[in-house]
């Protein structure tokens, strides 16, 4: 089936077609091939929610409850679970499948895991396109869930318009979140496992760090027990409200502008590097051997690329999206 046919079916609600499209996108991004998805470039779900936090913090359990709450509010929810450590994709991570299985038969919920690919820091290049695709086929809430709190997670989650950081009491999570740079990107903190001791201390740590950060609007701190659902409906409502507020203040627009720019920059770097490795092998070898200095090598490589840039790089038609890995 062609990509165009898959897209038509996905728009009609065919989750299998959507899954196959996502696989095509991942393959294309992985191999640097270009696929065109009519009308996808400009599509975006109304709410793009990032969920991150340390492994085992309860992200998936919480998300399962959030999905339920958003569904009752009439939203259609698409989830991308990004696993930076896994080379595998296509289908849900087993644990996530178990915890979110309440929704597998709901046509208004789509859950899919993606592996991270790409040369630069393992960031999943396919995420921005998959998010657009979810919007194009009618999901108005897209969730990007990541495992862990490292650099990759921060990057991936920056694709979101509103970011939820899940921490747990008593494990120094707040401090760790701070170190990982999550204090700058979190819009809502959720202290999950609030049935355990240490909630007050964790809240105090977070509030202290937020005092130092002077973020506007100030990130919110909520508490949940995801396993029982305590506090989760409030999180579901708060996250969407905060997303609307960020949009109204113009924060979302400026984040998106930065993101679009970075997406292009990343793709350019990746593509140029791929060509350098391929076409500039001899120059690189001379540098490795010490017979060519770096500055001259750069000049030679750029000249090499400039000569061969033109043929396949025709101007793109508007409304289409290219995947150049
Ligand atoms: N006591 C308690 N346990 C919880 C709570 N929320 C989740 N758990 C448990 O914590 C464990 C991890 O939950 P997950 O939802 O898989 O956590 P996660 O953050 O998605 O984990 P990874 O995907 O591995 O990073 C499970 O055994 C949950 O049942 C909570 O509020 N209280
Ligand atoms: Mg999980």
Mean pLDDT for 128-146 is 94
Give residue 170 CA to ligand 1 midpoint distance, Å.
Answer: 15
What's residue 157's pLDDT?
77
CA-194 nearest atom, ligand 1: 31
- Range of weakest confidence among 82-86, 184-188, 209-213, 255-259: 82-86
What's residue 316's pLDDT?
42
The segment(s) of the chain belonging to CATH 3.40.50.300 are 39-249
CA-196 nearest atom, ligand 1: 1
8 Å CB contact between 235 and 143:
no
CA distance 245 to 222: 17
Give the ligand with the smallest distance to the CA of 153. 1
Q: Is the pLDDT of residue 210 over 50?
A: yes
Q: Give yes or no for residue 55 CB within 6 A of ligand 1.
A: yes
DSSP code of residue 320? -
Strand extents, DSSP E, 14-117: 47-53, 77-83, 109-115
Give residue 123 CA to ligand 1 midpoint distance, Å.
Answer: 24
Give the ligand with the smallest distance to the CA of 56. 1
Q: How does pLDDT run across 25-37, given as a tens digit for each residue?
A: 888 876 767 788 8
Q: Give yes or no for residue 94 CB within 6 A of ligand 1.
A: no
What's residue 134's pLDDT?
97
Q: Give yes or no for residue 60 CB within 6 A of ligand 1.
A: yes
Q: Which span out of 34-38, 106-110, 182-186, 269-273 was modeled with the highest average pLDDT?
A: 106-110
CA-166 nearest atom, ligand 1: 19
CA distance 190 to 51: 10
Mean pLDDT for 248-274 is 88
More confident residue, 8 or 310: 8
Q: Give yes or no for residue 227 CB within 6 A of ligand 1.
A: yes
Q: Give yes or no for residue 59 CB within 6 A of ligand 1.
A: yes
* Superfamily of segment(s) 39-249: P-loop containing nucleotide triphosphate hydrolases (3.40.50.300)
Give residue 226 CA to ligand 2 midpoint distance, Å.
Answer: 12
Task: Specify the residue with its C-alpha closest to ligand 1, atom 28.
Answer: 58
Q: Give yes or no for residue 58 CB within 6 A of ligand 1.
A: yes
58 pLDDT tier (thresholds 50, 70, 90): very high
Q: Which span out of 115-124, 228-237, 299-308 was modeled with the highest average pLDDT?
A: 228-237
CA-147 nearest atom, ligand 1: 25
Give residue 297 CA to ligand 2 midpoint distance, Å.
Answer: 45
pTM of the model: 0.84
What's residue 70's pLDDT?
98
Q: How does pLDDT run across 75-99, given as a tens digit for each residue?
A: 999 999 886 555 444 444 444 545 6
User: How is 184-233 classified by DSSP, letter by letter?
Assistant: HH-SEEEE--TTSTTHHHHHHHHHHHHHHHT-SSPPEEEE-BTTTTBTHH
More confident residue, 71 or 33: 71
Give the ligand with the smallest distance to the CA of 62. 1
217 pLDDT tier (thresholds 50, 70, 90): very high
What's residue 314's pLDDT?
44
Q: Give yes or no for residue 65 CB within 6 A of ligand 1.
A: no
What's residue 116's pLDDT?
61
Give the ligand with the smallest distance to the CA of 65. 1
Per the rule left: phi > 0, alpha: psi between -120 and 50, beta: everything else, 96 is alpha
């Amino acid at each position: 089936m062609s990509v165009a046919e898959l897209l038509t079916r996905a728009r009609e609600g065919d989750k299998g077609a959507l899954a196959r499209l996502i696989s095509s996108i991942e393959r294309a991004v992985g191999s640097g091939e270009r696929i065109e998805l009519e009308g996808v470039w400009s599509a975006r779900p109304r709410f793009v929610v990032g969920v991150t936090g340390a492994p085992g913090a309860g992200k998936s359990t919480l998300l399962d409850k959030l999905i339920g709450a958003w569904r009752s509010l009439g939203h259609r929810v698409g989830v991308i679970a990004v696993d930076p450590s896994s080379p595998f994709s296509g289908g849900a991570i087993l644990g996530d499948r178990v915890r979110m299985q309440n929704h597998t038969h709901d046509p208004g919920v789509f859950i899919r895991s993606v592996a991270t690919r790409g040369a630069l820091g393992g960031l999943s290049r396919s995420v921005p396109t998959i998010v657009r695709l979810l919007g194009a086929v009618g999901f108005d809430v897209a969730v990007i869930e990541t495992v862990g709190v490292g650099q990759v997670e921060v990057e991936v989650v920056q694709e979101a318009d509103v970011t939820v950081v899940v921490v747990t009491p008593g494990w120094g999570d707040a401090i760790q979140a701070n170190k990982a740079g999550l204090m700058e990107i979190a819009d809502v903190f959720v202290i999950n496992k609030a049935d355990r001791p240490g909630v007050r201390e964790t809240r105090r740590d977070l509030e202290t760090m937020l005092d130092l950060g002077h973020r506007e609007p100030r990130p919110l701190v909520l508490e949940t027990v995801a396993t029982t659902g305590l506090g989760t409906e409030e999180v579901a409502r708060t996250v969407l409200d905060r997303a609307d507020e960020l949009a109204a203040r113009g924060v979302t627009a400026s984040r998106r502008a930065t993101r679009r720019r970075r997406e292009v920059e990343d793709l350019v770097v990746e593509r140029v590097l791929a060509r350098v490795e391929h076409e500039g092998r001899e120059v690189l070898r001379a540098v490795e051997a010490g017979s060519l200095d770096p500055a001259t090598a750069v000049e030679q490589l750029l000249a090499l690329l400039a000569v061969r840039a033109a043929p396949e790089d025709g101007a793109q038609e508007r409304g289409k999206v290219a995947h150049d890995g």
